[in-house]
Structure 1
Amino acid sequence: MTTTPIKPLANVTVVELARVLACPFADMILAELGATVIKIEQPGGGDETRSFEPQVGDESAYFFACNRGKQSVTANLKTEAGRRIVRDLTQSADIFIENFPVGSLARYGLDHTALRAANERLIYVSCTGFGQTGPYAARKGYDTVFQAMGGLMSLTGERGGGPVKPGLPIADLTSGMWIAIGLLSALNGRALTGQGCHIDFSMLDGQVSLLTLAAGRYFALGEVPPRLGTEHPGRVPSATFACSDGAFVHITCSDQHWLPLCQLLGLDALASDATLATNAGRVAHRERVMSTLTQAISGWTRKALCEACDAAGVPAGPIQNVAEVLADPHVNARGMVSAFEHPSIGTFGALPLPFKFDGFADPQVARPPLLGEHTEQVLRERLGYDEAHIAALRRDGAI
């Protein structure tokens, strides 16, 4: 007899007192892995991303992108009754996540010391720009500030040009992933000890941790890596090349791919040059190699070059725009383009979590909540509030 698989986080409850992107993205990951995520929002407006562009009817596609699968409960933190709702919800929660400025929630009695005193198993995450300690702790910042201060922008841009930000809010998105990793680690740690914890996460710290190979070059060589466009500082060739049809292909070769690449491009002189047989030699002769490849590839169309590289076993891929990615047959065969049904706008596209489980239920795209949609249900079912109590809370502006 087989049983229906469950989602791996089906026994986890999260209370989210956070807004914009990093924390909501982390919690959406948890939600679609099965966690119950209760998003606390301010009555009347909610998470400010509900008003962000682009708007679809009266809803925000920005909000949709990182708030799927959650329950929305309104609670006015300016009222004691609203704060009590948050405290009551954390009594039985596994995780509490917040991204308020350092020290702000202590004024409301919602800091980690207060909440964990009432629930020692609670895992409390504080996500701030610069952390709870250090000389920058009180500073404000957004995604691009952390990209700038964390070194990413210094590495991004064309050779000889100025710094460039990536096309997505990488600091926010990777912070969400770091937070999810930290939370899953803390859940396992709690299973070992029975105790919760406080996680102090700094978005700048998260960006510094991503420097990895760039920091490795600095530690090894004392080198401050320059901007190289799409080229790799330690591998040649690894770059994007322009094709005859105005499209682009990215090619990355290790030593075993070098001769096949030269052969398919008809570059006999490069293929026979023993100094170029190893990556170290090609790095030393970067300009010659890159200029020759650039010239040879400029006569190929994107489609023909990609097909030739595939046939020769040379790692290569077309530079695809968003529309091309979402129409890609492999992306669709993997189920990476989906949709949800929304009560006010109908069907809307969504990108599923990239996990395929054997033994657990796969994540499923769920719709984002309307503002306050679950307030009464959660107050009744989780907190035992009766109808008179809920009506009084609404009358007093607490919900």
Structure 2
Amino acid sequence: MTGPLAGITVLDFSRVLAAPLATQILAELGATVIKVERPGTGDETRGFEPRLPHGESAYFFAFNRGKRSVTLDLKDPRGQEVARRLAARADVVVENFLPGTLDRLGLGYDRLSRENPELVYVSATGFGQTGPDRTRKGYDTVFQALSGVMAMTGEPGGPPSKTGVPVADLTSGLWVVIAVLAGLAGRRGRHLDVSMMDVQLSLHALNAARLFALGEDPVRTGTEHPGRVPSAAFQAGDGEWLHISGSDQHWVPLCEVLGLDALAADPLLRTNSGRVEHRARVMKALRGAIAQHDRDALVKELRAADVPAGAVRSVREALADPHAVARGVVGEFDHPTEGPFPALRTPLRETAGEPTATGVPPLLGADTGEVLAELAGLTADEIEGLRAAGVV
């Protein structure tokens, strides 16, 4: 696979979601990603639902495209030695074990960097390499809860809610990519520490600004924006939903489309600060007026008036949208056992080029012999000996 990262080799000790997402992005940008998995079972997500007709996991498919799979028992000294030989030829190592785990296996940064001083080593963990919670385990929704994201997600007066996508995992995966690229750009070896909790706290940039400026701890506001009116989802007369988010220049056109002449003429509502102050009155009027229209027709009118608005779509509707189709958002790969299968493309492309190629998720251990011969320098007899001993 070609791409801007062609020639970069990534040794991937990660599993489940956040870091595998990152290494998938790196693979689809052209890097050679060697995914190290446990013999026999592999990444635990190979057994996650939804399962496909021949037993493969669509969950695994979503985050492991374009990689080469090597099985290696990292608890066995022989497996550790093979891993060190692979790391000596790699540009990047990505791992998401609890702090200290790979150090005890002789695969930590200090050990690997002795033989490969330019190695970029990225540790992606729940709480980072330092601090009192460094050895604490967690999952996406736990980080949403602990970080305050869950507390401010949901309707006012209702219970807290998780987000509709695993935001802690996905955003952390993107920061792992940033860490890798920063390390490579720095042109020297380094150990980079990505904490999922830190990433979630960093998402509170605007919430923290209100807290720091006003002493205001953000609360659940549903789809409404705490500092801008209007910015919310509204139910149309046909029962469908749309979202409107406007600034001062959109206020009068919005009122004209909805026939709210009195609101358009009210000097108290000409600026956002006034509309925020009179939020209840404004929102009541908007809800009543929008309920007199069918959604799609209203969205068309609002767009014609240059008011930012859009239908609240299902996932199926969003992926089938003509713009998404024209952009090639959904690609396809041909898996050796499951056959053709759709996949969301990595959303980065060159303006003069085609969309990023969609990689194929590897079968467990499919590349073990080839990789150990090419990069670790093992002979066929040595590989067969390790296979017979259950090390690979």
Q: Which TM-score applies when normalising by structure 2?
A: 0.98
How many pairs were matched up? 391
Q: Which runs of 4+ in 1 moved over 3 A?
A: 358-362
Report if the CA contact (8 A) 1:7-1:362 is conserved: no
Give the letter for the 1:201 counterpart.
V
Instruction: Give CA deviations for 1:151-184 in whole Å, capped at 9, x if unaligned.
Output: 1111111011121100111000000001101110
Report if the CA contact (8 A) 2:35-2:69 is conserved: yes
Report if the CA contact (8 A) 1:32-1:365 is conserved: yes
1:135-214 correspondence runs (5 A): 135-190=132-187, 195-214=188-207
Report if the CA contact (8 A) 1:8-1:360 is conserved: no
Q: Which of 331, 354, 371 is the aligned partner of 1:378?
A: 371
Report if the CA contact (8 A) 2:2-2:29 is conserved: no
Give the letter for the 1:270 counterpart.
L
Q: Which of 375, 381, 392 is the aligned partner of 1:388?
A: 381
Q: Distance in 1 between matches of 2:102 and 2:56?
A: 29
| Change in CA separation of 1:185 and 1:42 when aligned onto 2, cut-off 3 Å | same
User: Matched residue of 1:240: which SS?
Assistant: strand
Residue number in structure 1 paired with 2:26 = 30
Residue number in structure 2 paired with 1:20 = 16
Q: Which TM-score applies when normalising by structure 1?
A: 0.96
Q: Distance in 1 between matches of 2:354 and 2:326?
A: 19
Q: Which of 43, 48, 67 is the aligned partner of 1:52?
A: 48
User: Matched residue of 1:55: which SS?
Assistant: coil
Instruction: Give CA deviations for 1:239-270 in whole Å, capped at 9, x if unaligned.
Output: 00001222100000100000000000000110
1:262 and 2:259 aligned: no
Q: Distance in 1 between matches of 2:132 and 2:377?
A: 44
Q: Distance in 1 between matches of 2:320 and 2:373?
A: 44
Q: Distance in 2 between matches of 1:134 and 1:380?
A: 41
1:351 and 2:344 aligned: yes
Give the letter for the 1:184 counterpart.
L
Residue number in structure 2 paired with 1:217 = 210
Residue number in structure 2 paired with 1:73 = 70
Q: Distance in 2 between matches of 1:246 and 1:79?
A: 60
Q: Distance in 1 between matches of 2:360 and 2:240?
A: 36
Gaps of 5+ in 2: none
Instruction: Give CA deviations for 1:90-121 in whole Å, capped at 9, x if unaligned.
Output: 00101101111111112110111101111100
Give the letter for the 1:127 counterpart.
A
Residue number in structure 2 paired with 1:99 = 96
Q: Distance in 1 between matches of 2:88 and 2:253?
A: 63
Report if the CA contact (8 A) 1:14-1:36 is conserved: yes
Q: Aligned-pair distance for 1:383?
A: 2.0
Q: Aligned-pair distance for 1:82?
A: 1.1
Q: Aligned-pair distance for 1:384?
A: 2.1
1:121 and 2:118 aligned: yes
Q: Aligned-pair distance for 1:364?
A: 0.8
Q: Distance in 2 between matches of 1:229 and 1:333?
A: 32
Residue number in structure 2 paired with 1:321 = 314
Q: Distance in 2 between matches of 1:318 and 1:363?
A: 28
- Range that drifts further, 237-246 or 76-85: 76-85
Q: Distance in 1 between matches of 2:122 and 2:359?
A: 24
Q: Aligned-pair distance for 1:6?
A: 4.9
Residue number in structure 1 paired with 2:274 = 281
Report if the CA contact (8 A) 1:6-1:360 is conserved: no
Give the letter for the 1:109 counterpart.
G
Q: Aligned-pair distance for 1:359?
A: 6.6
Q: Distance in 2 between matches of 1:300 and 1:377?
A: 63
Give the letter for the 1:211 counterpart.
H
Q: Aligned-pair distance for 1:135?
A: 1.0
Report if the CA contact (8 A) 1:7-1:361 is conserved: no
Give the letter for the 1:105 counterpart.
L
Report if the CA contact (8 A) 1:34-1:363 is conserved: no
Q: Distance in 1 between matches of 2:179 and 2:377?
A: 32
Give the letter for the 1:237 counterpart.
P
- Range that drifts further, 381-390 or 33-42: 381-390
User: Matched residue of 1:115: which SS?
Assistant: helix
Give the letter for the 2:261 counterpart.
D
Give the letter for the 1:29 counterpart.
I
User: Matched residue of 1:215: which SS?
Assistant: helix
Q: Over aligned residue pairs, what C-alpha RMSD do you find? A: 1.2
User: Matched residue of 1:347: which SS?
Assistant: strand
Report if the CA contact (8 A) 1:147-1:165 is conserved: yes
Q: Distance in 1 between matches of 2:389 and 2:269?
A: 76
Instruction: Give CA deviations for 1:298-333 in whole Å, capped at 9, x if unaligned.
Output: 121111111011111100011110110111000110
Q: Aligned-pair distance for 1:89?
A: 0.6
Report if the CA contact (8 A) 2:328-2:355 is conserved: no
User: Matched residue of 1:56: which SS?
Assistant: coil
Give the letter for the 2:160 counterpart.
P
User: Matched residue of 2:36: which SS?
Assistant: strand
Give the letter for the 2:172 counterpart.
S
| Change in CA separation of 1:360 and 1:199 when aligned onto 2, cut-off 3 Å | farther
Q: Distance in 1 between matches of 2:89 and 2:74?
A: 19
Q: Distance in 2 between matches of 1:82 and 1:123?
A: 21
Residue number in structure 2 paired with 1:301 = 294
Q: Distance in 2 between matches of 1:359 and 1:297?
A: 42
